[in-house]
Chains A and B, each alone.
Chain A
Amino acid sequence: MVDDNTLIARIISNGDQHAFATLIKKYQGAIRQFLRRLTAGEQATADDIAQEAFLRIYQKLDTFLGQSSFSTWAHKIAYNCFLKYKQKVYHQYEIDGFDFSILEAKVEDIEKDLLIERLMNCLDITERTCVTLSVSAGMSHQEISTITELPLGTVKSHINRGKQKLMDKVNHQK
């Protein structure tokens, strides 16, 4: 499989759209999942933001210096697109009364996904971002700090506080 740097070089040098399609295929899962958690279940909106993010990635690819991994850089762009969207419009779902037995029952995966995404509503945006990147995407604190432009200590406390809030919510609903 061709590595990211080779694909990026092809896109920058001759606008190779096939190479960019390969990059999208590789990272669409991670970016869309990240945005679905940030929008707390607004899946259509998350996918719109993801499309916007990939277009910006294509336009700004020549500014990628390789100081961080491509994944970190792409997540940072997606995060900025989300913040831009949030400035314009933002919805908050009520999550009281959710049936957490879905988590144990064998139901459609999509329902389970949606429940976990909506669970994110009990966190503020920064906590949501830090918890998702740390636990779901498996990124290091340093990478999260690069994406959110927050100091390391702040990232750690957002993760701990966010996880505690989520645990309280799950225990309360059980």
Chain B
Amino acid sequence: MNTDDDSFLNSLLQYHTRLVDQQFVDNIINNIKAKNKFRLKVMIVAIFLACSLAIPLLGSITEEFAFLNAFTSLSPYIITFFLLSVLGFCAWLTNESF
């Protein structure tokens, strides 16, 4: 390939129309907003569930942590499963790309 060929090919490959498109930018930003919205909704549901479980316990908190005692007396398999589920759910929530 001689120098003329090389410069012809280079100028050919360097040719391109300018790609600037506001719609392209808006689509990506909207996509990010939609994902954030979904993430917020999931978190609200999770907080609601946690509160609905926790509030009834407030009444029994004076009864020497009856719920905690009942929980710890459960099968270790159930406790492990419960803890792993909560841990997994929390990890999923904190993952940016879920």
- In this assembly, does B49 line the interface, its C-beta being within 8 Å of a C-beta of chain A? no
Known: A24-B28, A55-B31. A166 touches B9 (CB 8 A): yes
The total number of A-B Cβ pairs within 8 Å is 76
Query: Which residues of A in the span 86-140 have a Cβ within 8 Å of any Cβ on B?
Result: 103, 109-110, 112-113, 116, 131-132, 135-136
Those 7 A-B pairs whose CB atoms lie nearest each other, nearest first: A135-B13, A109-B17, A29-B19, A59-B97, A24-B25, A32-B19, A54-B28
How distant is B32 from chain A, measured CB to nearest CB, in Å? 6
Q: Is the CB of A58 within 8 A of B24?
A: no
Bound-state CA distance A45–B27 (Å) is 15
- In this assembly, does B6 line the interface, its C-beta being within 8 Å of a C-beta of chain A? yes
Bound-state CA distance A109–B28 (Å) is 26
Bound-state CA distance A48–B33 (Å) is 18
| Interchain residue pairs with CB less than 8 A apart (9) | A24-B28, A28-B25, A29-B19, A33-B19, A50-B24, A163-B1, A163-B6, A167-B5, A171-B5
Most buried by A among B1, B10, B12, B29: B12
Q: Which of A17, A28, A132 contacts B33 (CB 8 A)?
A: A17
Q: Is the CB of B25 within 8 A of A59?
A: no
Q: Which of B1, B13, B14, B32 contacts A164 (CB 8 A)?
A: B1
Q: How many interface residues does chain A have, given as a range?
A: 20 to 34
- In this assembly, does A4 line the interface, its C-beta being within 8 Å of a C-beta of chain B? no
- Beyond A51-B31, A135-B10, 15 additional contacts (C-beta under 8 Å) are A15-B36, A17-B32, A20-B29, A21-B29, A25-B20, A25-B25, A29-B18, A51-B24, A54-B28, A56-B97, A59-B97, A110-B17, A113-B16, A116-B12, A167-B9
